[in-house]
Amino acid sequence: MKSICSGILLVLVLSFAACKTKTEEKKQNTPTVTESYDGSMISIDDATKKGFATLSGNGRGTFRRIEVVIQNNTAKEMRLQAGGGLFFSNPNSDAQSLLTIEEIGEITINAHGQYKKEFPTVCTNVRLHIPGTESNWPGAINPDGSIDNILSVYSKNKDLIRLYLERKNPEKFKTETDQQMFLQVLVWAYAGGQYKEILDMLAKDVYGNDIDRAKQWLDGVYEEAVTIGSFIKNKDL
């Protein structure tokens, strides 16, 4: 009987310890709000730094888009402004992290509510695996200034670049999807990605492992990406 009572006591102690650990983990994962939100318009950068909001992302099994999630941690309706260039760090270190290329704009999030929406993205490392569908990628304002530079220059000169590309090869730049794919190739080339690496990645993620179709689209496009990337690096655009 004594051994049975001891066993029951041990189970209770272990259960209490497990509950305590979970509670402590929950406390650690709860953002610290350092001051009171006054309900005014606030940037995503300030909101996350002050703990008013939490930025995260959910993978979609591709480098071309991600679901952006913004959690309002306050008891007030939040008026928030967010641009593009939000960086989401893939929890899988072997797979690509992503950068949004469209601004969110001004949004309103209910008290303790969430904002969720998918946005187009680019990745910065063609040598890593295609993202999976993991949830809760940590989000932040993009820390990589060099990629910010190329996105900024591309955005400012988008119409000029599109016109140039359409005149050179109208069949490959006739849709928004084609233009987004070109921006991705431009970012990869700018970051040092080689033709074969980019070809393999496009074949896997865009063309259903059809290397011939991927090559048909990439041929010619890669050289244009290298040229424009070189212009941007040399501040010619």
Q: What is the pLDDT of residues 60-117, one digit of tens each?
A: 999 999 999 999 999 999 999 998 889 999 999 999 999 999 899 999 999 999 999 9
Cα–Cα distance measured from residue 88 to residue 211, given in angstroms and rounded to the nearest whole number: 29
Give the DSSP H/E element, type plus range, for residue 86: strand 86-88
Q: If we measure between CA atoms, which residue out of 85, 91, 54, 52 comes closest to residue 71?
A: 54
| Paired strand residues for 119 | 66
**Cβ proximity of 147 and 226 under 8 Å:** no
Helix (H, G, I), strand (E, B) or coil at 214: helix
Q: In whole numbers, what is the pLDDT of the chain averaged over residues?
A: 84
pLDDT in tens, 103-160: 999 999 999 999 999 999 999 899 999 999 999 999 998 766 667 778 888 888 888 8
**Cβ proximity of 68 and 210 under 8 Å:** no
Residue range 24-38: average pLDDT? 57
Tokens encoding 157: 């000169």
**Cβ proximity of 55 and 104 under 8 Å:** no
Does the pTM exceed 0.85? no
Q: How high is the pLDDT of residue 3?
A: 46
Tokens encoding 185: 């190739």
